[in-house]
Amino acid sequence: MATVELPAGGAPLTVLSEEETMFRDAVRDFARSAIVPRVHAMDREQKMDPTLIAELFEMGLMGIEIPEENGGTGSSFFTAVLVVEELSAVDASVGVLVDVQNTLVNNALLRWGSEELKAKYLPRLASEWVGAYALSEAGSGSDAFALSTRAIEADGGYRLTGRKLWITSGAEAGVFVVFATVNPEAGYKGITAFVVERELDGFSVGKKEDKLGIRASSTTELILEDVFVPAENVLGEVGKGYKTAIETLNEGRIGIGAQMVGLARGALDSTVAYVKEREQFGHPIAEFQGVQFQLARMATELEAARLMVYNAARLKDAGRPFLQEAAMAKLFSSEAAQRITSQCIDLHGGYGFTTEYPVEKFYRDSKIGTIYEGTSNMQLQTIAKNLLR
C-alpha cells in the first residue's frame, strides 16, 4: 500500500493516494451492488446474510491489515477506515462487522499476539472466521475493568468462568478476544486477554439482544463455564490485559467514527436526491432557501467529522500520538450523525417516518455511536484529562 508523506511539523494529510482511491471506489461499488439489495431484509430479520459475510472475506475486507503472508490484504489502518465508511453508507450493521474484525480483533492479534498465535489465527480471520471482542459485562460498561469473569491457572493454561454482555458479532464469530481477571485483588493489573475459540467445551453464546438499530449486527451474551484455554492463547502478558484493552479500543474508536461518517453520508445523499424530486407549492423543495441552508449545514458538519476521523487514522498509521484525536473524532462524528440523520427525516416529512425510505434506518443506527466503544461522556473525560495533564 502506498503511503502519503506527512508534512513536517503539521497534521497528516487527509488526501487519498491513487491506490486508496481505487480501493475505496471498489468497496463503494460492492456496497451498492451486493449490500443495498439485502439491507431491508437483514434489518427486518435481525440477521446478517451468511452469503454476504462470505463475500466480505472474498473481497479481502475482513483482513485489511493482516499481512499478505498470513492471507490478508496487507494494507493500512486508514484503508480499513475507508472501508468501514463505505459499507456504513449503505448499512451500518455491515460496517460494524468489518470494523470490529479489523480495528479490534485483528489489530489486537497483530500488536499483542505471539508469532505462534498470529500464524494460527490470522489466516483464518482473513479467510473464514469472524472475530469478536469480549470485554463488557453486566457490571462492567464504562467502568471497563470492573470484571467478574475469572481466569484460574490450571495445568498448562487457564480455566475461564463468567459472562460477557453486548458482544458485537457474537452470533457469527468463530474466535473471541476475551478479557478475564487472574487476580481480583490486583484490580486492573490482574486483567488478562485470551484468544478463545467458539468450539471449546464450556463456551456458549447466550441471549441475542433485540435492538433499536444496527439490527442485522448480532449483539450477544457469552457464557463461559470452566472453559480451558491453553497458556499459549494468552494475548500479550498475564496481568497486562488492561493495556491491550485500552490501546486497542483507542484505535477502535476511530473505526466507530468512520461508521458514523458513513451512515450520516448515506442519509444526506438520500435526502439530497429526495428534495430534488419532492414538490410543494409547485416547486421542488430543494429550491427553498430554508432547505438549502439545512443541507449546507449538514454537509459542513459531515465534512468536519470526516476530516477528524481521517486525521486520527493517519496519525495512527504514522506512529504518532492519537489518543485525543481519536476521542474527539468519535465524540464529534457520533453526535453529528445523530443530528444529521434526524434532520434528514425532517426533510422527508411523513415519508421519513416510514420504512419506505432509508433515512429512518440511518437514524436508528446512529444512536449506538454515542454509546459503544466509550460513551460521549467517556470521550469528554479522555479529552479533558489530556488537556489538563
For 66-98, write each residue's pLDDT tens digit.
999 999 999 999 999 999 999 999 999 999 999
* pTM for this predicted structure: 0.95
The yes-or-no verdict on residue 6 having pLDDT over 70 is no
The yes-or-no verdict on residue 155 having pLDDT over 80 is yes
Band (145; pLDDT cuts 50, 70, 90): confident
Band (143; pLDDT cuts 50, 70, 90): confident
Q: What is the pLDDT of residues 362-371, one digit of tens each?
A: 999 999 999 9
372 Cα distance to chain centroid: 9
The yes-or-no verdict on residue 231 having pLDDT over 90 is yes
> What phi and psi, each to the nearest 5 degrees, are found at residue 137?
-140, 175
Q: Beta partners for 196? A: 176
What would the mean pLDDT of 191-208 be, rounded to a whole number?
98
Determine whether 373 is an active site residue. yes
Whole-number pLDDT of residue 1: 38
CA distance 152 to 156: 11
- Indicate the CATH number of 242-388 among 3.40.50.1820, 3.40.50.360, 1.20.1530.20, 1.20.140.10: 1.20.140.10
Band (14; pLDDT cuts 50, 70, 90): low
For the chain, where do the domains classified as CATH 1.10.540.10 start and end?
18-130
SS3 sequence, the chain?
Answer: CCCCCCCCCCCCCCCCCHHHHHHHHHHHHHHHHHHHHHHHHHHHHCCCCHHHHHHHHHCCCCCCCCCHHHCCCCCCHHHHHHHHHHHHCCCHHHHHHHHHHHHHHHHHHHHHCCHHHHHHHHHHHHHCCCEEEECCECCECCCCCCCCCEEEEECCEEEEEEEEEEEECCCCCCEEEEEEECCHHHHHHHEEEEEEECCCCCEEEEEECCCCCCCCCCEEEEEEEEEEEEHHHEECCCCCHHHHHHHHHHHHHHHHHHHHHHHHHHHHHHHHHHHHHCEECCEEHHHCHHHHHHHHHHHHHHHHHHHHHHHHHHHHHCCCCCHHHHHHHHHHHHHHHHHHHHHHHHHHHHHHHCCCCCHHHHHHHHHHHHCCCCCHHHHHHHHHHHHHC
The yes-or-no verdict on residue 4 having pLDDT over 70 is no
232 Cα distance to chain centroid: 27
Band (26; pLDDT cuts 50, 70, 90): very high
The yes-or-no verdict on residue 12 having pLDDT over 70 is no
For the chain, where do the domains classified as CATH 1.20.140.10 start and end?
242-388
Identify the residue with better confidence: 15 or 373: 373
The yes-or-no verdict on residue 268 having pLDDT over 70 is yes
Percent of the chain with pLDDT over 70: 96
Whole-number pLDDT of residue 2: 39
What would the mean pLDDT of 250-277 be, rounded to a whole number?
98
Q: Taking Cα atoms as reference points, which of 169, 74, 186, 84 lies closest to residue 131?
A: 169
Band (372; pLDDT cuts 50, 70, 90): very high
For the chain, where do the domains classified as CATH 2.40.110.10 start and end?
132-239
- Domain spanning 18-130: which superfamily? Acyl-CoA dehydrogenase/oxidase, N-terminal domain (1.10.540.10)
Whole-number pLDDT of residue 15: 81
The yes-or-no verdict on residue 13 having pLDDT over 60 is no
| Selected catalytic residue, list 85, 251, 325, 373 | 373
Between the alpha carbon of residue 329 and those of residues 8, 110, 259, 261, 379, the distances in Å are: 22, 24, 11, 10, 9
Q: How many CA atoms lie within 13 A of 137 on its CB side?
A: 19
The yes-or-no verdict on residue 60 having pLDDT over 70 is yes
What would the mean pLDDT of 259-277 be, rounded to a whole number?
98
**Which CATH code for domain 132-239?**
2.40.110.10
CA distance 178 to 133: 6
